[in-house]
A = this chain, B = another copy of it.
Amino acid sequence: MSLVARHLEANGVSTVVMGSARDIVEECGVARFVFTDFPLGNPCGKPWDQEMQRSIIGSALNLLDRAWMPRTTIQTPFHWENDTWRDAFMRVDDGNREALARAGEERRRRQAEVKTGR
């Protein structure tokens, strides 16, 4: 996604990336970035919250208009109801370590079966 935005910028089309995976977008490097600090899935505002969605697209259009150099980032002022998602997402701990290892093995076994046509 960020790579496509870069391609457009290099070819004369102005872009804005809206997203919640800050480090991935910043690692790639984009012209303009609107960051909303939400769990992944709703970078343009909470579901059904039209007022918040209007604010976020408004910020993106403002940024389009006003940015004068690449790697310009703004962060919208919104917060999720709580912070539990921060630690919970893709968590690895003693409670799930064995289950994750088994799931990985199982998945590789199935993929190998598909490949060998068994």
Contacts and interface: CB of A to CB of B under 8 A. Distances in A.
A59 B69 contact: yes
A89 interface: no
Contacts of A77: 69-71
A2 interface: no
B74 A71 contact: yes
Interface residues of A, number: 12
A75 B71 contact: yes
B73 A72 contact: yes
Contacts of A66: 66, 68
Contact of A74 (B59, B62, B72, B75): B72
A113 B70 CA distance: 53
Contacts of A75: 71, 73
Contacts of A59: 69
A79 B3 CA distance: 21
Interface of A: 59, 62, 66, 68-75, 77
